[in-house]
A and B are shown apart, each in its own frame.
Chain A
């Protein structure tokens, strides 16, 4: 997959195209629960360049969605972004923005599509109305102009007879079409960053491929950067240029997509890759990672993955390994690849 130069949107981005669009540093998102404070995202750092597709993989409960919602500023009580910064080029640190400032950014500069197209659209409003709303909010458009634009957007996301569909309600559309409508809504204001939280998980396999193609298309056309959240390594291989693997609230490995697939360093990443069914593995048993994601309120001492790790050894129980930089821009959080082993 080729890296596409972004169609720079903000003027101040033209002269520093190599600066990251989004820089997340030491993000910590907590939730108050009856049993104590839960660290859903625990000291996560990563960056996304303009026009880049960052894949974020991990099992359910690894903190992928919470990371995305933290970037959107949509963490609601009893949750909060407790520490860290989310630096968006041209806009500064999002964690310091007021609610009103975040509203202007959401849906305009950053937008998001969700896992469940069946429930993510409001059932009582027409498709066109829901898309037009974003344009009216951020583009100061009148009703009529916004509706015309909504029709164009539906056509661009590959919905047949869009002038008819804009007047329909979500329940009149199939799951795939609804996700197309969601993409149209998210892309309405040509955002610089699109967060896609498991956008194809709820769809039929045949539709999944179409939606992924559409996302690639839209992303190329708009030059938007994408943070693609998924648990599907196949989707990552197809879409992403850079990958962050998350486990129990932390990033355990980060590398280019080629590096991740050719030389995965973390035992968890290796496990994820081994669990992909392949054409030539017919008749063989599928590899699964034994055990479950640990309860975030009762993490094991040391490395969070230790209890499920086939390579766990002495230092793993003693301390949590840091995310260590390796050659080729590879980063890994594992004592196997770190010589500064604790005593």
Chain B
């Protein structure tokens, strides 16, 4: 297991290196010279040249990359050109909000998606199965801007059960306020993942239930509930974890639409704004953080695989 972990950790190094190259290249591939853009159209050629020299833009690309990467590793991501604040604290604040939303959405998705998927497989062809899969299909195809706005209209405006936007009340609040604010966006965002998980869990379970070893378990006198939740689920969970990992990575990038609909101050919303404002340091920092976290989520998923499936662990 430890050997596998180290091998897998070593594999992340070239990936992270590739990400850093791409993020670095972003600045240079983007149209226009950063110095030009900073100084505006009325700057003299001389002052642009001076700024280019000060920013190190006249040095070879490799040299620029090394010094840039060095700064990134020290957590110095530069200053946002729009907010004129340090990038890193800003991104971390946003990333925390996205992490909370993701955790909420995935909790909902796992409880409902996996649960419904298992029950649907156990009672294949039943009314429950048909209805659940129909709803799941609808859930996969329903756009978030629709479900989100519908949820706000019903639960926030009409019934007034839950707040419709932000993380806290304007006056600030405690963890319970946060949870109340979290419900609608998390459920809206998690519904899609829940639907995908339900369908994948169901098909994985159906495949596993037909395996010989499930028959062996029954032949041993294992009860039906234990057959499903222990013998079959452990095998099906390999598929479930794959889907879950992909959803997790995808949600970490921030769901722009959900964050916009519910005014959730997350990374996705921030990135869109930064891109629109050509706030390169901000975009770079955010992409770097999101991509890196994606790599580590994948690593965690692979570790989970190895824990779930001894055939991976011992090969």
- Chain B, residue nearest A135 (CB): B220
- Whether the pair A107, B221 counts as a contact (CB closer than 8 A) is yes
| Cross-interface CB contact of A171 among B215, B223, B235, B314, cutoff 8 Å | B314
User: Given A123-B235, A123-B311, A171-B310, is A106 in contact with B216 using a C-beta cutoff of 8 Å?
Assistant: no
Interface residue ranges of A108-135 to B (CB < 8 Å): 108, 111-112, 114, 116, 119-125, 133-134
| Cross-interface CB contact of B224 among A99, A107, A108, A112, cutoff 8 Å | A99
Where chain B touches its partner, the secondary structure class is helix
User: Given A124-B234, A124-B310, A172-B314, is A114 in contact with B220 using a C-beta cutoff of 8 Å?
Assistant: no
A69 to B71, CA, bound (A): 68
- Residues in A neighbouring B217, C-beta threshold 8 A: 122, 133
- Whether the pair A133, B222 counts as a contact (CB closer than 8 A) is yes
Tell whether B28 is near chain A: CB-to-CB under 8 Å.
Answer: no
Tell whether A337 is near chain B: CB-to-CB under 8 Å.
Answer: no
Tell whether B308 is near chain A: CB-to-CB under 8 Å.
Answer: yes
Tell whether A212 is near chain B: CB-to-CB under 8 Å.
Answer: no
User: Given A119-B211, A119-B213, A121-B216, is A106 in contact with B221 using a C-beta cutoff of 8 Å?
Assistant: yes
- Whether the pair B221, A122 counts as a contact (CB closer than 8 A) is no
- Whether the pair B218, A124 counts as a contact (CB closer than 8 A) is no
| Cross-interface CB contact of A121 among B213, B309, B311, cutoff 8 Å | B213
- Whether the pair A125, B220 counts as a contact (CB closer than 8 A) is no
Tell whether B231 is near chain A: CB-to-CB under 8 Å.
Answer: yes
Tell whether A46 is near chain B: CB-to-CB under 8 Å.
Answer: no
- Residues in B neighbouring A182, C-beta threshold 8 A: 216
User: Given A74-B218, A124-B235, A134-B220, is A114 in contact with B212 using a C-beta cutoff of 8 Å?
Assistant: yes
Tell whether A261 is near chain B: CB-to-CB under 8 Å.
Answer: no
- Residues in A neighbouring B310, C-beta threshold 8 A: 123-124, 169, 171
- Residues in A neighbouring B223, C-beta threshold 8 A: 103
- Whether the pair A105, B216 counts as a contact (CB closer than 8 A) is no
- Chain B, residue nearest A108 (CB): B221
Tell whether B45 is near chain A: CB-to-CB under 8 Å.
Answer: no
Provide the A152-179 mask, 1 if CB < 8 A to any CB of B, else 0: 0000000000000000010110000000
User: Given A72-B219, A111-B219, A134-B221, is A169 in contact with B314 using a C-beta cutoff of 8 Å?
Assistant: yes
A213 to B170, CA, bound (A): 80
Interface residue ranges of B284-315 to A (CB < 8 Å): 308-311, 314
- Whether the pair A124, B221 counts as a contact (CB closer than 8 A) is no
- Residues in A neighbouring B218, C-beta threshold 8 A: 74, 106
A99 to B221, CA, bound (A): 10
- Whether the pair B311, A169 counts as a contact (CB closer than 8 A) is yes
A169 to B309, CA, bound (A): 10
- Residues in B neighbouring A134, C-beta threshold 8 A: 220-221
A171 to B311, CA, bound (A): 7
- Chain B, residue nearest A134 (CB): B220
- Whether the pair B311, A106 counts as a contact (CB closer than 8 A) is no
Tell whether A313 is near chain B: CB-to-CB under 8 Å.
Answer: no
| Cross-interface CB contact of B309 among A103, A107, A123, A185, cutoff 8 Å | A123
- Residues in A neighbouring B314, C-beta threshold 8 A: 169, 171-172
User: Given A114-B215, A119-B212, A172-B314, is A124 in contact with B308 using a C-beta cutoff of 8 Å?
Assistant: yes
Provide the B232-244 mask, 1 if CB < 8 A to any CB of A, else 0: 0011000000000
Tell whether A141 is near chain B: CB-to-CB under 8 Å.
Answer: no
- Whether the pair A137, B309 counts as a contact (CB closer than 8 A) is no
- Whether the pair B219, A103 counts as a contact (CB closer than 8 A) is no
| Cross-interface CB contact of B220 among A111, A116, A169, cutoff 8 Å | A111
- Residues in B neighbouring A105, C-beta threshold 8 A: 221
- Whether the pair A74, B220 counts as a contact (CB closer than 8 A) is no
Interface residue ranges of A62-95 to B (CB < 8 Å): 72, 74
- Chain B, residue nearest A115 (CB): B212
A-B contacts, 24 of them at CB < 8 A, read A74-B219, A99-B224, A103-B222, A106-B219, A107-B221, A111-B219, A119-B213, A120-B215, A121-B216, A122-B216, A122-B231, A122-B235, A123-B309, A123-B310, A123-B311, A124-B235, A124-B309, A125-B231, A134-B220, A134-B221, A137-B222, A172-B314, A185-B216, A185-B220
- Which B residues are within 8 Å of any A CB, using their own CB? 211-213, 215-224, 231, 234-235, 308-311, 314
**Minimum-distance CB pairs A-B, first 4:** A107-B221, A107-B220, A169-B310, A119-B212
Excluding A120-B213, A169-B310, 20 further A-B contacts by CB distance (< 8 Å) are A103-B221, A106-B219, A106-B220, A106-B221, A107-B220, A107-B222, A112-B219, A119-B213, A120-B215, A122-B217, A122-B235, A123-B235, A123-B309, A123-B310, A123-B311, A124-B309, A133-B217, A134-B221, A182-B216, A185-B216
